[in-house]
Amino acid sequence: QVQLQESGPGLVKPSETLSLTCSVSIDSFKRHYLNWIRQSPGRGLEWIGFIYNSGNTNYNPSLKSRVTISVDTSKNQFSLRLTSVSDADTAVYYCASGPGWTPHHWGQGTLLTVSS
Amino acid sequence: EIVLTQSPGTLSLSPGERVTLSCRASQSVGGNYLAWFQQKPGQAPRLLVDDGSSRATGIPDRFSGSGSGTDFTLTIDRLESEDFAMYYCGQFANSPLTFGQGTRLEIK
C-alpha cells in the first residue's frame, strides 16, 4: 500500500519562502515520479513539478523561477521550496507519485495560507 | 501548454442512471496519456482511469474511459450514491502537465 503524507507550516507570510515535505512509503520510491500539485478555488488543480531518478526535475514554467523540488532518499522524503510567496499561492498542496507521469497515489493534502 | 476543457460543468442525475463526461484537449494528447480522477469534499483526487481507458487498481468496472487524440470520455454505468463527486481529467503526455476544470456530478 503506497502512502504519502505532507507536512508543512500551514501559514506563511507574503514574500517569504514556503517549504513542504512529503514522506513516502513505497519500495519503488527511487523509481517513481514524485510530484507536487496544488489546488485552489481560483486556479483549480495546478501541477507544480516532479522529481525522478533521485535528481532529475521538471517544473511548470509558470512557477519555475520560484520552485525547487529535492529528494532525500535516505529518509524516503521529497520536498518543495517555493520562494517569494503571495496570496496567489494560498492553496491545498498535494504530493503525489506514480511509475510514470500520471500521479497514481496522492497524499491527503495540506492547506497553505499566505497571510501577514 | 495543452488546455483541457470539461463539459458539462454540472450534471444532476439519479442513482442507477448512466452518465458520460467529456474532456476535450486543445491539441492531441500523445500516447493517449489522459487520466480521470474522482474527488470528494475534503479528500485528495483518486485515480480512476489511466492511459485513456485503463481502470486503476480497485476501480469498479462501471467506470470506463475511452477516446483518443483530442476527445475523451468517462462513462459511469448504474450510478451509485458514492459516485456523486467532482471529476477531473488530466493529461500527462506533455509538460506542463495540466488538468481540466472539473465536472460536478450531483444527485437530482
Q: Which tens digit of pLDDT belongs to each residue from A37-68?
A: 999 998 899 999 999 987 899 999 999 999 99
Q: Which tens digit of pLDDT belongs to each residue from B14-65?
A: 999 999 999 999 999 999 999 999 999 999 999 999 999 999 999 999 999 9
Contacting residues of B for A103, CB less than 8 Å apart: 47
In this structure, are residues A6 and A20 in contact, taking their beta carbons and an 8 Å threshold? yes
pLDDT at A26: 75
pLDDT at A79: 97
Express the helix, strand and coil content of chain B in percent, nearest 5 each: 5, 50, 45
Residue partners of A14: CB distance under 8 A and separation at least 6: A85, A86, A87, A114, A115, A116
Contacting residues of A for B56, CB less than 8 Å apart: 104
Residue partners of A32: CB distance under 8 A and separation at least 6: A24, A26, A52, A97, A98, A99
pLDDT at A116: 95
Indicate yes or no: CB of B99 within 8 angstroms of CB of A45.
yes
Q: Which tens digit of pLDDT belongs to each residue from B33-47?
A: 999 999 999 999 999
In this structure, are residues A95 and B47 in contact, taking their beta carbons and an 8 Å threshold? no
Q: Would you list which residues of chain B are within 8 Å, Cβ to Cβ, of chain A? A: 33, 35, 43-47, 50-51, 56, 88, 90, 92-93, 95-102
Per-residue pLDDT band for B68 (boundaries 50, 70, 90) equals: very high
pLDDT at A42: 87
**Residue A29 clears pLDDT 80, i.e. is over it:** no
Average pLDDT, chain A: 94
- DSSP alpha helices (H): ranges in chain A? none
Contacting residues of A for B44, CB less than 8 Å apart: 94, 96, 106-109
**Residue B66 clears pLDDT 80, i.e. is over it:** yes
CA distance B14 to B35: 25
pLDDT at A1: 74
C-alpha cell read off for A66: 520560484
